[in-house]
């Protein structure tokens, strides 16, 4: 019985510590893998359309390497990459900025949950991408 209490106490301590360690993983200190869940693409002439990662021409999974300041992902047997120009922490959010193929983009990752929103805009076009990240 004493051994069972010890195991339960140990499990409780580990589970109580896990959310703190998990939350700290979204502060730019470790690489992340983000999955694209939902996308919206809007053009000046057409209405906004809901779609998939493929519909807005981005990889389904995005790998973020903060040390190299790079985001990469596989798309149709090609590796696509983009440079992260700026990383900022503000109000429990990790905010990334960059430029890719003439478009400005910004990604916000909630430090408490890993939920991600990516926006990109260019000449008469805009995109909003929702997803979730996890430590690699």
Q: 86 Cβ partners below 8 Å, 6+ apart?
A: 95, 96, 97, 98
- Report domain extents, the chain: 2-135
Q: In whole angstroms, how far apart are CA 115 and each of 32, 34, 41, 78, 79?
A: 12, 9, 19, 26, 23
Q: Could you report the per-residue pLDDT of 75-128, keeping only the tens digit for each?
A: 888 899 999 999 999 999 999 999 998 999 999 999 999 999 999 999 989 999
Helix and strand numbers (H, E) in the chain are: 1, 10
Question: What does the pLDDT average to over 10-19?
Answer: 40
pLDDT band at 48 (very low <50, low <70, confident <90, very high): confident
Tokens of 30: 């470790």
pTM for the model stands at: 0.78
3-class secondary structure, 58: coil
Question: What does the pLDDT average to over 4-19?
Answer: 40
3-class secondary structure, 47: coil
Q: Could you confirm whether domain 2-135 is CATH 3.30.70?
A: no
């Amino acid at each position: 019985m004493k051994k069972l209490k010890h195991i339960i106490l140990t499990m409780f301590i580990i589970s109580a510590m896990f959310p703190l360690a998990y939350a700290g993983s979204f502060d730019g200190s470790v690489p992340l893998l983000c999955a694209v869940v939902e996308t919206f693409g809007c053009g000046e002439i057409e209405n906004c359309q809901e779609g998939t990662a493929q519909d807005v021409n981005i990889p389904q999974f995005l790998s973020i390497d903060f040390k190299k300041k790079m985001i990469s992902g596989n798309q149709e047997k090609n590796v696509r990459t983009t440079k992260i120009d700026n990383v900022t922490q503000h109000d429990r959010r990790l905010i990334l900025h960059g430029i890719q193929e003439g478009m400005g983009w910004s990604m916000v990752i909630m430090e408490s949950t890993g939920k991600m929103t990516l926006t990109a805009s260019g000449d008469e076009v805009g995109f909003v991408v929702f997803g979730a990240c996890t430590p690699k």
